[in-house]
Amino acid sequence: MAKKPDTSIPGIVIIDKPAGMTSHDVVSKMRRVAHTRKVGHGGTLDPMATGVLVIGIGQATRLLTYITAGSKAYDATIRFGVAMTTDDAQGQPISIAGCEQLDREALESAMASLRGEIMQVPATVSAIKVDGKRAYALAREGRSVELKARPITIHAFERLGDPRIQMAEYAIATDDDSAEMTAIPVSVVDVDVHVDCSSGTYIRSLARDLGQMLGCGAHLTALRRTRVASFTLSGAHQLADLQAETEARGEFSPGAPSLPSPGLIPIAEAATSLFPSIVLSAEEEQRFSHGQAPTRDAQEVMALGNPGDVIAACNTSGVLCGVLAIKNHSLKTLNVFSGETQ
Active site residues: 46
Would you state the torsion angle of the CA atoms of residues 94, 97, 103, 107, taken in this order, to the nearest 10 degrees? -10
Q: Is 193 in contact with 76 (CB distance < 8 Å)?
A: yes
- Residue 342 CA to residue 322 CA, distance in Å, equals 12
What is the distance of C-alpha 270 from the center of its chain?
17
Nearest one of 102, 223, 241, 86 to 166, comparing CA atoms: 102
Alpha-carbon distance of 21 to 240, in angstroms, equals: 12
| Angle at 107 (CA atoms; ends 105, 109), nearest 5 degrees | 70
Angle between helices 239-249 and 23-34 (to 10 degrees): 20
Q: Are strands 181-197 and 218-228 parallel, antiparallel or unpaired?
A: unpaired
Contact present, 11 and 40 (Cβ < 8 Å): no
What is the C-alpha separation between 107 and 14, in angstroms, rounded?
34
The size of the chain, in residues, is: 342
Q: What are phi and psi of 302, to 5 degrees?
A: -65, -30
Q: Identify each DSSP E strand in 140-276 by its residue range.
A: 150-173, 181-197, 218-228, 231-232, 265-266
